[in-house]
Chains A and B, each alone.
Chain A
Amino acid sequence: MIHSKRIRSTTSRYISRLLLAGFMLSATVASAVIHASTPADPFGSVMWKTMVDTYFTGGDVVFDQRVIVSAPKSAENQMHVPITVDATGLENVKQIVAVADLNPIQHILTVRPEQALSFIGFRLKLQQSSPIHVGVQTEDGTWHMGGALIDAAGGGCTAPAAAHSVSNWMKTLGETRALVRRDSKGDARMTIRMRHPMDTGLASGIPVFYMNKMVVKDDAGGVVAELDLFEPVSENPTITLKPSVGNESSVLKVSTRDTEGNEFAFPLSVPAVLAQ
């Protein structure tokens, strides 16, 4: 079942509302340390070793300042904590894995940028103050790590989604707002926000139910980026990617799927680069 949901072309006003870049603070980590064993965690996470053993296996682990993780120092709203990961300084990136060490469910998302910059923006639910670790794995297997420490009041993962205060929330499931514009020559910047409760299964009486897959393809059907999403991604997932689309106009095809097998798909038109 493919739902073609309403797509609204949005204005710059929406951009500013969506991406309140003003309160994002850079939290870049000190220079790379090459270690035979797991390096010490600059964030002092008690879960660090577990995170490495679970999510960052199959290669060396190094902290690398080219992995720039932008996050607020303190979560104004622990249901929606905005994070931006910029690893565009790294070549040959295979995947980007983000985890929240002290969440009851740690794995936030995995991104495989095929024809996209090594860049991802998203929002997560944070259960308590926690380090965020982002591993960017390159083709040689090495995990280039970055991260941030976020202070939070608590309760993000075990509270019911706001959607559930409306009895017919299922009717609007998958409704999407999307924006695409030129980021730089050859690259686009796309942001989508799709209605979904992203239920973690930890709120009393509400089974797990979240959008777990997002694929962006180009005109020819080639994969631009693939995302595996998990329970900690915020309600109404808001995802920003930077597809490498070239200079011509093109149509990106976005499709998503949730854990109940609901599928949503829509096209996103990218304008051509204006002649100089």
Chain B
Amino acid sequence: MKQMKVWLAAAVGAACLSTTAIADVTIEEIVADQASGDDIVSYGLGPRGQRYSPLKTLNKGNIKNLFPVWSFSFGGEKQRGQESQPLIKDGVMYVTGSYSRMWAVDIRSGEEIWQYDARLPEGILPCCDVVNRGAAILGDKVYFGTLDAKIVALDAKTGKVVWRKTIGDYEAGYSYTAAPLIVPTEAHGPLIVTGNSGGEFGIVGEVQARNPETGELVWTRPTIEGHMGTLNGEESTMTGKKNETWPGDIWQNGGGAPWLGGTYDPDTKLVFMGTGNPAPWNSHLRPGENKWTSARIAIDPETGEIAWGFQTTPHDGWDYDGVNEFISFDMEKDGETIKAGASADRNGFFYVLDRTNGEFVSAAPFVQNISWAEGIDENGRPIYVDDNRPGNPVESADGKKGKSIFAVPSFLGGKNWMPMAYSQDTELFYIPSNEWGMDLWNEPTTYKKGAAFMGAGFTITPIFDDYIGSLKAMDPATGEVKWEYRNKAPLWGGVLTTAGGLVFTGTPEGYLKAFDAETGEELWKFQTGTGIVSSPITWEQDGEQWVAITTGWGGAVPLWGGEVAKFVSYLNQGGSVWAFKIPESLASK
């Protein structure tokens, strides 16, 4: 039976070859990915991660004629959250799924070409569901990370393992869920850059760059002050200065996981990584700013050195990871063009920085009722509300539980992992956000390998009775929200915008929806049959514009949702990828 499947796959492969030659992906194609509508060879539709497509065949006028072409099931008895963005090259889709699986699918037929299932060990420790967010592609290989903190290179034609390397020790709580980033360098050629996950287990955040041919490490850059980086197999420099912003030895398990990967800007030739929360959550155990947790760091890919860093939540006490994607864009303000970058943070503020040096430009709230800070000062530092930090358990009567507070946003963030999009036409950012708060209290804790290192308890509560999810169009120059779409369940999927004036996102209720990029008017929706928590894509295939999305309800919300459960508990799991297109004959109608 199995053998039969292999033959069929080979036959499909041969059929593809006869019509389209499957060419190797070059680093130039990756860098210029955003401009080419006929493939998607990077996570974020270009290394800047703008999630903006120049395609305009599909537009506000004809989107009513966008129809499903096929749906491909991931199969298996295990489903859970599907957060993956597919890649597209030469008529083949490469899509990853839950439990560290990957498929190559023939786009014209929707038939499987190959499937790869990582052999995961017992005892993996993913904190927040068994998701994967996507693959990378270069040359004749596709790459993705697995839940046991490995990175795998597969032959793009066969799905066979070419190499497999260890990012971290899964037994200590390391895992990997992000899409790898491929960047050019002069010194080493293209590098494949990964972060790591495991901030709830007291791991140490680290960015690693490897040779994509062999998987050998070229450089490593820990995100936590006091740890040494490496370059070409030898120690390079220490991150920061030991004990400058961390007390004692708690930095040795300081968290700061860059678990969402990064973006790359070809102008400044910098890699931008976001870093996670410090460990443990109980901030009273680690006085100081705790660099570089809850921050954006710019790394020179030639050396692995940190060019600049910017902490969004110094001395975080609310699990406000700073992992959110930092999207490069050029901003017109007061008659000047600023080489800017923007990020919508877990802490509820939308930041604009100068991407050449990390200097603060502006910040504006993108969710309502933010409680932990009065605002962001002129230097980009939060104006903390001291009473809104959970109390120190040492000061309580029994020393076991500090004063509980209600903070907004919740630890799942004004925005979580789901990537926003930036339109070069409207010059707006489209932010998938959530309106919720949390009761949060601190407890004593000590580090133990492989055990949760948090020192906190929590429940999440919606702020409004009728909705949590909120898709907002944010003007980065003014900080104004131009329009908002409200969704009952929390939004947990990425956003796509196109030159056709459209904004796409999926909902946990199962709809893929399209909005007018100018007004927010809902123009189209399609029910996929299970919740959507992934990022849509669009590309041109044989002269027609296609849209695709992976579907399958899961992610962190159903695991950590607290009182949010009543908004989502009825949602059913799934696991598939849907492909849509606007037929040529209907594109002009």
A105-B118 contact given A205-B77, A261-B152, CB 8 Å threshold: no
Interface size on B, residues (CB 8 A): 20
Across the interface, which residues of B come within 8 angstroms of A154, CB to CB? none
B77, B117, B165: the one within 8 Å of A204 (CB)? B77
Contact of B118 among A1, A107, A169, A207 (CB under 8 A): A207
Whether B336 sits at the interface, judged by CB under 8 Å, is no
Binds A, one of B155-163, B205-213, B492-500: B155-163
Q: Which residues of A contact B163 (CB under 8 A)?
A: 261
Instruction: Indicate if A115 sits at the interface (CB-CB under 8 A).
Output: no
Which of B37-45, B119-127, B232-240 has 4 or more CB atoms under 8 Å from chain A?
A: B119-127
Contact for A260 among B77, B78, B119, CB less than 8 A? B119
Q: Give me 15 other A-B pairs in contact (C-beta within 8 A), A1-B164, A170-B121 excluded.
A: A105-B1, A105-B2, A167-B122, A169-B122, A201-B2, A204-B77, A205-B77, A207-B117, A207-B118, A207-B119, A209-B119, A261-B152, A261-B153, A261-B161, A262-B164
Contact with B along A195-239 (1 / 0, CB 8 A): 000011110110111000000000000000000000100000000
Check B119–A107 contact: CB distance below 8 A: no
What 1/0 mask marks residues of chain A from 249 to 263 whose CB sits below 8 Å from any chain B CB? Answer: 000000000011110
Closest to A104 in B: B1
Interface centre among B2, B152, B163, B165 (most CB of A within 10 A): B2
* Secondary structure type dominating chain B contacts: mixed
5 A-B interface contacts by CB (under 8 A): A104-B2, A105-B3, A168-B123, A201-B2, A207-B117
Distance in angstroms between the alpha carbons of A106 and B4 in the assembled complex: 10
In the complex the two chains form, is A261's CB within 8 Å of B162's CB? yes
**Distance, CA A205 to CA B153, complexed state (A):** 23
Contact pattern, A 67-107, Cβ under 8 Å of B = 1, otherwise 0: 00000000000000000000000000000000000001111
Task: Name B164's closest neighbour in chain A (CB-CB).
Answer: A261
- Name which residue of chain B comes closest to A202, CB basis: B2
Query: Which residues of chain A are near B119, meaning CB under 8 Å?
Result: 199, 207, 209, 259-260
Q: Output the residue of B1, B3, B152, B163 with the most chain A CB within 10 A.
A: B3
**B77 neighbours in A (Cβ, 8 Å):** 204-205
Report the separation of the CA atoms of residues A180 and B501 in the bound assembly, to the nearest whole angstrom: 72
Residues in A with CB closer than 8 Å to B161 are 259-261
Write out the residue numbers on chain B whose beta carbons fall within 8 Å of the beta carbon of A231. Answer: 2
* B588 shortest CB reach to chain A, Å: 47
Interface centre among B160, B161, B165 (most CB of A within 10 A): B161
Compute how far the CA of A208 lies from the CA of B2 in the bound complex, rounded to whole angstroms. 10
Q: Which of A200, A202, A260 has the most CB of B within 10 A?
A: A260
Bound complex: CA A104 to CA B123 (Å): 31
Which residues does chain A contribute within 8 Å of B122, judged by CB atoms? 167-170
Q: Measured between alpha carbons, how far is A105 from B2 in the docked complex, in Å? A: 6
Asked if B1 contacts A167 (CB within 8 A), the reply is no
Within B116-152, the residues touching A (CB, 8 Å) are 117-119, 121-123, 152
Looking at the assembled complex, report how far the CB atom of B236 sits from the nearest CB atom of chain A, in whole angstroms.
23
